[in-house]
Amino acid sequence: MKRQRRAALVNDITGFGRCSITVELPIVSALKVEACPFPTALLSVHTAFPNPFIRDETSIMRPYMENWKEHGVEFEGISTGFLGSEAQVDIVSDFIHLFKKKDTLVIVDPVMGDWGKLYASYSPALSEKMKQLLPLADVITPNLTEASRLLGIPYPGNRDLTDQELEEIARALSEKGPSQVVITGISRKENVGNYVFERGRPSAYIGSRRVGGERSGTGDVFTGILTGCLVRGDALIPTVRKAADFISRALAYTAEQDIPPACGIAFEQFLTEL
């Protein structure tokens, strides 16, 4: 049977605020890859809003994936994002073992923290446990906070790190499993960008001029574009360029519309041009 390539999106579903699966799924679909959500939690609004309704979905995850297996569902891509507990890391490891075929690409966005600090929901034990996903990943997309936690090194600060410093961090992460490492959110003067490492190839810094201040959901738009493009077979460097350009354009439009930062990126405006 001929069909489109297919990706499982392991992340939370947040109803309002444009993040996680709500953002990744339309982007992956627009890139012509079939997207199958695997929810880790259900939130009314994301955690940058006060008092969100949150329901942890750990208890459904095993029966949900076993049911997919019974139905013979196969994936050419698995992307993982926000995980709420150590038990979820174990389930996601089992999910990857159960569903990874020879041609399945595993993309892990180790959502753990920012600006040198872990998110409130990430205990040091959970951050330690996330290391378990590294040997299972083909591609990882940490920011510098997450990269330093995964390596057990001090946070280097987001000063203008040299290519050599970034290369050492990316290579050390790659030695733990993933052949491709994209370190996101790297500030360089007026730019923000990504250090792209591919084992056996020259690395590159791919950035754009920083648009506006902090805004929720940039990481999820980024992971969505990487998932869709890499699962359909595009090369890493042009894919990261595409993601950075798309985010810049959508951020500029979002700022023009005066949309509050917690309401995410108005990516819908450009979705059909991906």
Ligand X SMILES: Nc1ncnc2c1ncn2[C@@H]1O[C@H](COP(=O)(O)OP(=O)(O)O)[C@@H](O)[C@H]1O
Contacting positions for ligand X (CB under 6 A): 114, 143, 184-185, 192-194, 208, 210-212, 218-219, 222, 244, 247-248, 251
Residue 128 CB, shortest distance to ligand PLP, in Å, is 20
* Cβ nearer to ligand PLP, comparing 14 with 239: 14
Distance CA 77, CA 104 (A): 5
* Cβ nearer to ligand PLP, comparing 178 with 217: 217
Stretch that binds ligand PLP, among 1-9, 11-19, 97-105, 193-201 (CB under 6 A): 11-19
* Cβ nearer to ligand PLP, comparing 194 with 216: 216
What element of type H or E holds 146? helix 144-151
Distance CA 117, CA 122 (A): 10
Amino acid letter for position 69: K
Residue from 6, 20, 77, 229 that binds ligand PLP (CB under 6 A)?
20
Closest CA to 111 of 173, 181, 20, 214: 20
Closest CA to 133 of 183, 78, 170: 78
DSSP 8-state code for residue 163: H
- Residues in a beta bridge with 113: 118
Q: Whose structure tokens read 């359909």?
A: 232
* Cβ nearer to ligand PLP, comparing 43 with 106: 43
Residue 89 CB, shortest distance to ligand PLP, in Å, is 16
Residue from 217, 225, 229, 263 that binds ligand PLP (CB under 6 A)?
217
Residue 97 CB, shortest distance to ligand X, in Å, is 26
Distance CA 135, CA 133 (A): 6
- 48 binds ligand PLP per the rule CB under 6 A: yes
